[in-house]
Amino acid sequence: MKIRLGIFISGGGSNMQSIAKACQQDSFPAQVSLVLSNTPDAKGLQLAKQLGLKTAIVDHQNFSNRKDFEQEIQKHLVKAEIELVCLAGFMRILSPFLVEKWQDKMLNIHPSLLPKFRGLNTHKRALNANEKTHGCSVHFVTVGLDEGPVIAQSTIQILADDTIQTLQARVLIAEHILYPQTIKQLCQQL
């Protein structure tokens, strides 16, 4: 039986797409059972529909507090029988209410070599810090922002003429390889 993944997105959804493509292989140990977005107009929702995936929108703006928002998300996860949650460009900070329910079963991909550059604008910060290398990390989600245990990382060289855009583009390519690979390894151990 394949592990049932729930993927959370807020925007472009290119990582969601790379996971979904990997899941199309018969030998891949997981399937995408739900793509959930907190933004109704996320481009990734269209991509998910084109891929024939089940989608849900839980718009945070419709909730007066975090717990109600997360309770609604949890309902969708239970209904879709989700076993592993993958945050993929999901731009809401989740509270202990949801994070603790999914302890060791919720992953995130972050565009830096954690613990370096937690939070936003990682590519700009890596360039400003004159780093020689940069990359991406897949980690378990814990209550602290981008603080959960790192499962896997991919390193890329920073080139002398890199801009935020060129660096971001190369890191994103690395993300598209690392995330499905890590999910595969993890699911094989479940």
Q: Among 32, 48, 73, 88, which residue interacts with ligand GRF (rule: CB under 6 A)?
A: 88
**Contact between 12 and ligand GRF (CB under 6 A)?**
yes
Give the Å distances, CA to CA, from 155 to 47, 113, 119, 170.
28, 7, 18, 10
Q: Among 7, 38, 110, 141, which residue interacts with ligand GRF (rule: CB under 6 A)?
A: 110
Question: Looking only at residues 138 through 177 of this chain, which bind ligand GRF when binding is defined by CB under 6 A?
Answer: 172, 175
**Contact between 55 and ligand GRF (CB under 6 A)?**
no
Contact 104, 69 (CB under 8 A): no
Q: Per-residue string for binding with ligand GRF, 32-51, x by CB under 6 A?
A: ------------x-------
Measured from the CB atom, the residue of 143 and 169 that comes closer to ligand GRF is 169
Active site residue 123: no
- The region that residue 52 occupies, defined by phi over 0 for left and psi between -120 and 50 for alpha, beta otherwise, is left
Which residue's entry shows tokens 């801009």? 163
User: C-alpha angle with apex 69: 68 to 71, nearest 5 degrees?
Assistant: 60
Q: Which residues are catalytic?
A: 110
